[in-house]
Amino acid sequence: MIFDIFLLQQVINGLSIGFVYALMAIGFTLIFGVLNVVNFAHGEVYTIGAFIGLMVITALAPPLVAVVPLVLAAGALSGVGLERLAFRPFRRFTDEASQKSRAMREATLLSSLAVSIIAREIMMHLFGGDMQGVPSDYLLQRPVAIGPIMVATGSLVIFATSAVMLGALQFLLYRTQTGLGIRAVSNNQLGARYVGIDTDRTIVTTFAVGSMLGATAGILVGLYDGAISPHMGFAPGVKAFVAMVMGGLSSIPGAVACALLLGVSESIATEFLSSGWKDLITYSLLVITLVFFPQGIFGHGRERA
């Protein structure tokens, strides 16, 4: 009875949750990588993407493929704005003591948190705190039967999008000049500047790309979930953060793999325990992983900080 079709369905359910986390984790990890600072506002970029998408859909009713470029533009714009507002001001201190100072690093983390609070509250005043429905034509919820297993169209779209994003990002990072710059800044900001890389521009580019991915994730998950609200980004944001760290911070494929692991562990925990306890299993998995892999599963060895 244990290894029956229901269990297989649970694994599929878990993977579809995992891909939602993964979609968000990709942009999150990219942005973390370049500055080594947690961007608390990534969840808000995700929400902005969802709302912009919804506004475009309700106002113009274009085909879904046409919504995506607009959402990408909105994402890039909010990413650049976010970088200007919450991150750039803290790079005005260039002396080594400030750069190594924990107070400075934690200040940047908290400034993105403050920006995210403001953004969320403003969205709440603009759109109301209620969840917004999505017009039925755009819902990515049609069931697809694969043998006895049921999958929603949204899961497939999210899976495909994650795969494309991952591939495109690996290409960008490892095959282009921009990617080389991003990797250089991520490795050593000061060093990158010394060899003539425009670090500010590289950081802005990274934020734009990462936020484009985040905003796309927002609208896709919104259409898949059937509800868009100002606080939709918080819960998947935490899970994406966890997945990123489990994966070892610097590895985007690692973050995706860990996001899937988290999703599957949640659905399997629901099967054998209760949904109420699933987070206990998920986070135990995190702690156990960190005990055995203190730098995450795919992380590099420790550098001297």
Partner 1 sequence: MKSKMILGAVLGAVMSAGAALAADKEIMIGYQAPFSGDRSQYGEMFRNAAAIKLAEFNASGKLPGATVSIAYEDSKDDPKEARNIARKFLDNPKIVGVIGDFSSTVSMAAAEIYATEKMPQLSQTASHPDFTKISPWQFRNITTQAFEGPYNADWILSKGLKTAAVIYIQNDWGISALEGFVDGYKAKGGKIVATETFNPGNRDFRSILTKVARQKPDVIYLAMFYEEGAALAQQREQLGITIPLYGTSSLYSPKLIELGRASVNDLHLATTFTPDNPDPAVQTFVKEYVARHKAEPSMFAAQAYDAVGIMLDAVAAAGPSVTRETLRDALAKTTNYPGVTGATSFDPATREPTKSLAKMVVKDGKFQVIGEP
Partner 2 sequence: MDVNVPDARILPSSTALPASATAWRGRQIFWTVVLLAVVFGAVPAAITATGSSYLAQIAITAMIFVILSASLNHITGTAGLLSIGHAAFYGIGAYAAALLSTKLGLPFIVTLPAAGLIAAFVGFLVAMPTMRLVSIYFAVATLGIGEMIYVILLNWVDLTRGPMGIRGIPPIELFGWQANTLLSRYMAVAVIAVVCVWVLHRLTHSYYGNALRALREDDQCADSMGIDVVRLKVEAFVVSTFFAGVAGALLSHTSAYIAPDNFRFMESILILAMVVVGGMGSLPGAVVGALFMIVLPEALRDIGDYRMIAVGATMFLSILLLPKGMLAEGASLAFVRRAFARGWTTMSGGTPVGWK
What is the binding site for partner 1 (CB under 8 A)?
A: 6, 9-10, 13-14, 16-17, 121, 124, 128-133, 136, 139, 141-143, 145, 150-152, 225-227, 231, 234-235, 266-267, 270-271, 274-276, 278-279
Name the H helices within 176-277. 177-187, 189-194, 199-225, 234-247, 252-272
Binding partner at 159 among partner 2, partner 1, none, C-beta below 5 to 8 Å by kind: none
| Degrees, nearest 5: CA angle 220-224-228 | 75
CB of 35 to partner 2, least distance (A): 12
- Confirm or reject binding of residue 171 to partner 2 (CB under 8 A): no
Helix (H) or strand (E) holding 146: strand 143-146
Q: Which is nearer to partner 2, 223 or 245 (CB)?
A: 245
Please say whether the beta carbons of 21 and 262 come within 8 A: yes
CB of 125 to partner 1, least distance (A): 9
The tokens of 300 are what?
Answer: 């590099």
Binding partner at 191 among partner 1, partner 2, none, C-beta below 5 to 8 Å by kind: none
Compute the Cα dihedral for 177, 179, 185, 188 and give only its sign: negative
- The residue behind tokens 């759109």 is 127
d(CA 154, CA 168): 21
Q: How would you class 95 by CB atoms within 10 Å of its CB: exposed for 0-12, middle for 13-18, buried for 19 or more?
A: exposed
d(CA 71, CA 54): 10
| Degrees, nearest 5: CA angle 194-196-200 | 95
CB of 31 to partner 2, least distance (A): 13
Choosing from 128, 149, 283, 300, the residue that interacts with partner 2 (CB under 8 A) is 283
Q: Considering only residues 98 through 117, tell me which ones interact with partner 2, judged by CB under 8 A.
A: 100-104, 106-111, 113-115, 117
CB of 110 to partner 2, least distance (A): 5
- Confirm or reject binding of residue 294 to partner 2 (CB under 8 A): yes
- Confirm or reject binding of residue 61 to partner 2 (CB under 8 A): no
For binding to partner 2 (CB under 8 A), which residues are involved?
36, 38, 86, 89-90, 93, 95-97, 100-104, 106-111, 113-115, 117-118, 121-122, 125, 238, 241-242, 245-246, 249, 274, 276-277, 279-280, 283-284, 286-287, 290-291, 294-296, 302, 304-305
